A and B are shown apart, each in its own frame.
Chain A
């Protein structure tokens, strides 16, 4: 499955574009996606601890605009938003 990971907040530092793309196995979970992002950080940012901490503390948002749990199964190609810790207002 092809996942377009939409970047927000500090996660925008992961790419010059506003998204990243990952290929995941069928029935992967959000936790699997999180691990893929961590591997991406290892490969592209020499395991930058701040970036890894950011990924570990982020939530994820489905294409239907719901915050989803780590066990949420991704069943098709879709956009997923990474939601780092918030601080607006």
Chain B
């Protein structure tokens, strides 16, 4: 069971409560929440915020593909996964991504959650423009998208 969405933060909030509601079930004995936030430093530069850009349709497609691959790879029964990523401007400490995974056992939840975030980093078309203290900004170089 998967929920996958891009959140345009000029219109909507990214909220962990939505993730909690989605994965809540007495079938599951373990839940993991991964929350990515905007930090204040990168490459020795003081960061004041990040603008996230996204190819929305490809992002959701990649979330779905990653989820299906993880299902095939791990073969865990009864799993719920919630993935939301923002687009738009985020200040320091703001949430950029939530991945919530619920399944029977803790080892499965850790494995599944880790797989999803690592694959998102390689394959999901999201870009970051960092903003700095001196009012400068820069698109991060990133890595060429990997396809399967």
Contacts and interface: CB of A to CB of B under 8 A. Distances in A.
B125 A8 contact: yes
Contacts of A57: 144
Contacts of A65: 57-58, 61
Interface string A60-84: 0100010100000000000001011
B22 interface: no
B5 to A, nearest CB: 14
B112 interface: no
A8 B53 contact: yes
A57 B146 CA distance: 12
A53 to B, nearest CB: 10
Contacts of A6: 55
A8 B127 CA distance: 8
A10 B129 CA distance: 8
Which secondary structure dominates chain B's binding surface?
mixed
Secondary structure dominating the interface of A: mixed
Contact of B97 (A59, A83, A89): A89
A14 to B, nearest CB: 12
Contacts of B142: 9, 84-87
Interface in B20-50: 36
A83 B145 contact: yes
A83 B85 CA distance: 18
A67 B85 contact: no
Contacts of A10: 127, 139
Interface in B88-129: 96-97, 117, 120-121, 123-129
A13 to B, nearest CB: 7
B127 A88 contact: yes
Contact of B127 (A59, A67, A84): A84
